[in-house]
Amino acid sequence: MEKFDINNYKEFNIVLQQLNELIGKQSKHIKELIHIGESLSAKNSLVNIFTLILNEAMDYANADGGTIYIVSNDKKFLDFKLTYNKFLNLRMGNVDAPITWPSIPLYLKTGLANMSYMVSYVYHTKDSKTFDDVYEQKLFDNAGTQKFDTRNKYRSESMAAIPLINHEDVVMGVIQLINAMDNDGNIIPFGTDHIEMLNSLASQAAISLSNTRLIENLEELLLQFIKSIGSAIDRKSKYTAGHVKRVATLTEEIAQRINEDEDGFFKDVYFNGDQLKELSMAGWMHDVGKIVTPEYIMDKSTKLQTIIDRIELIKIRCELLKQVIKKDINKLQLDSKLTKEKKQELIKISNQIDQDISLIEKMNFGVEKFSDENKNEIKRIYSFSYFSEGKEYKIISEDEMKNLMISRGTLTDDEFAIMKDHAQVTWEMLSTLQFPKKYENVPLYAASHHERLDGGGYPNNLPEAKIPMQARIIAVADVFEALLSIRPYKKGKKISEALKIMALMVRDHQLDKNVMDILLDSGLYMSFAKKIAKQEQIDKVDINIFKSIYHIEK
């Protein structure tokens, strides 16, 4: 029987302990890889995912420092994304500590590939690279490394760089690690097992970056498409050209001022980046329903306008009628049937026609105050008929009378209903689109900009509690822009006139008073007006006067 050797037992225990430690370490790395994989499919920011990947890379290689570079959008540079160093207690690349170091150029001024830096070399060759001591190699320029070390009293020694290659074999960036260490804290070279693991992590980083870039590109395409549609709506009418863009711009500026409100009503309100984009999209889409609004209604500059301004037809009709009257006078005279009284009567009718044309022209523009007297005059003109040789002649038709009787603006009730319908069409168009979840409220915000806090708005007569703040912001921007701008039936208002009208709307519980306060207190009303209004519209304003209209002590 072989004699038991206690030394062999001790050695076996040591090996077993080392094996257990290795298994534990590998198990930890596998769990971390699974965690990283889960993060790729979860809703995580690119910085968070890169942080996980860089931490795991440094942990696996027991590296003292690490950096992730990503290729710039123009593909001319490697930009620093994250950098950590344990010894220097350095962590840069998050919101609180952005990296300001200059990017690494990927190309020389001659256009040739820049192979003078380790990371740019790895980018162009798509191969990993390691050095046992970066100071002893002669392939790459290490002046930057030495400068960093001197400034921080540090010594970079072993170094590894691994390309981030996506599924299309495109290099998205580079992971660089420095100073791998053994369990005793001694700097050692990066081994083959390190590189294999780092290649796996680099692949995951590349997937993350590819996915993020894809999403960003799709979102940018969506925003560009939305702006393109908005611009097309702007071009539909010569009178409202630029309206959509101006409202979207003012909407964005109001939201930004709300974010900056630290001690006012909105001190606890903050729109994050996605919410600002969502609101911007809604601003650009708020009038998309006008794509089905007939142009003759959008551009109806006079009451009688359809495809043409019917005032010209009425003038021709009246001239014809006057010629008929003149002909009747001549005929009666030839037949010796023209009495003095009859001649005076016909001349009076002809003169009255001239007066009626002048009145109709004045009423046609929709700016004259429509009094009961004017209303009666239009009815009289409509009721007038002249008969000659069995034929009836009239000055205006029933539809023309209906249009001339419009009390405000140039649209009839039916035409105004068609114009108002653009808000409902906006909802119907946008609600059928599958917006990304973070932008899912674009249809609601865009379609609700004509809702009023008193419940009297359209298209859904929403009560105050159901009108989102974002829709209220668009509403204020929309009204202010419309008041300052030229419309078919009006000139642009002066700033003071526009703000007074809006203050009265706030008082009557149509517009949101807190959004109105932001417009006034921030000075946006003036900076915006100076960009879109004519010089004669810019007048002096005391905002306290307007705020006193709707800030009423109870």
Lowest mean pLDDT segment, chosen from 28-37, 251-260, 329-338, 529-538 = 28-37
What pLDDT does residue 158 have?
94
Instruction: Read off the pLDDT of each residue in 132-137 and give the average, rounded to a whole number.
Output: 92
What pLDDT does residue 13 have?
60
DSSP state at residue 241:
T
Regarding whether 337 and 275 lie in a shared domain, the answer is: no
Regarding whether 404 and 436 lie in a shared domain, the answer is: no
What pLDDT does residue 218 have?
77
Domain boundary among 215, 248, 283: 215
DSSP state at residue 440:
T
pLDDT at 95 over 60: no
Quick: pLDDT tens for 369-381. Answer: 678 888 899 999 9
**126: nearest Cα among 90, 159, 80, 172:** 172
Structure tokens at 415: 């035409």
pLDDT at 233 over 70: yes
Regarding whether 492 and 382 lie in a shared domain, the answer is: no
pLDDT at 231 over 90: no
Sign of CA dihedral 6, 9, 11, 13: negative
Whether residue 13 is contained in a domain is answered as no
Instruction: Read off the pLDDT of each residue in 157-172 and give the average, rounded to a whole number.
Output: 89
What pLDDT does residue 44 have?
52
Q: How far is CA 530 from CA 280, 415, 479, 508, 535, in A?
A: 22, 33, 16, 28, 8
- Check which CATH number belongs to the domain holding 140 and give it: 3.30.450.40
pLDDT at 162 over 60: yes
DSSP state at residue 179:
E
Split at pLDDT 50, 70, 90, the class of 43 is: very low
Rounded to an integer, what is the distance from CA 510 to the centroid of its chain?
25
Regarding whether 466 and 369 lie in a shared domain, the answer is: no
Regarding whether 418 and 396 lie in a shared domain, the answer is: no
Measured CA to CA, the distance from residue 521 to residue 438 in angstroms comes to 30
What pLDDT does residue 333 have?
87
Lowest mean pLDDT segment, chosen from 58-67, 280-289, 437-446, 545-554 = 545-554
Whether residue 6 is contained in a domain is answered as no
Regarding whether 88 and 53 lie in a shared domain, the answer is: yes
**67: nearest Cα among 25, 115, 96, 99:** 99
Whether residue 394 is contained in a domain is answered as yes
Whether residue 305 is contained in a domain is answered as no
Q: At what angle do helices 513-521 and 243-259 cross, to 10 degrees?
A: 90
Regarding whether 142 and 273 lie in a shared domain, the answer is: no
Print the domain residue range for 449.
237-299+414-550
Element (H, E) at 263: none
Instruction: Read off the pLDDT of each residue in 306-317 and give the average, rounded to a whole number.
Output: 89
Whether residue 501 is contained in a domain is answered as yes
Calculate the average pLDDT of the chain: 86
pLDDT at 239 over 80: no
DSSP state at residue 157:
-
Regarding whether 292 and 196 lie in a shared domain, the answer is: no
Q: How far is CA 69 from CA 55, 175, 306, 495, in A?
A: 15, 6, 62, 51
**pTM > 0.75: yes or no:** no
In terms of DSSP bridges, do strands 386-388 and 77-85 run parallel, antiparallel, or are they unpaired? unpaired
Regarding whether 319 and 294 lie in a shared domain, the answer is: no
Lowest mean pLDDT segment, chosen from 153-157, 304-308, 416-420, 463-467 = 304-308
Task: Output the CA angle 336-341-347, nearest 5 degrees.
Answer: 95
**102: nearest Cα among 83, 124, 80, 72:** 80
Instruction: Read off the pLDDT of each residue in 239-248 and give the average, rounded to a whole number.
Output: 87
Quick: pLDDT tens for 480-490. Answer: 999 998 776 67
Domain boundary among 184, 215, 246: 215
Whether residue 353 is contained in a domain is answered as yes
pLDDT at 46 over 50: yes
What pLDDT does residue 41 have?
46
Contacts of 478 (CB under 8 A, 6+ apart): 247, 286, 449, 450
Domain boundary among 390, 410, 430: 410
Quick: pLDDT tens for 176-198. Answer: 999 999 888 899 999 888 888 78
Task: Output the CA angle 500-502-507, nearest 5 degrees.
Answer: 95
Quick: pLDDT tens for 489-528. Answer: 678 899 999 999 999 999 999 999 999 999 999 999 999 9
What pLDDT does residue 230 have?
85
Contacts of 166 (CB under 8 A, 6+ apart): 172, 206, 207, 209, 210
The tally of domains found in the chain comes to: 3
Regarding whether 106 and 249 lie in a shared domain, the answer is: no
Quick: pLDDT tens for 320-363. Answer: 999 999 999 998 888 888 888 989 999 999 999 999 999 999 88
Whether residue 10 is contained in a domain is answered as no
- Check which CATH number belongs to the domain holding 262 and give it: 1.10.3210.10
Regarding whether 263 and 168 lie in a shared domain, the answer is: no
Whether residue 228 is contained in a domain is answered as no
What pLDDT does residue 488 have?
64
Measured CA to CA, the distance from residue 249 to residue 376 in angstroms comes to 46
Regarding whether 75 and 188 lie in a shared domain, the answer is: yes
pLDDT at 531 over 60: yes
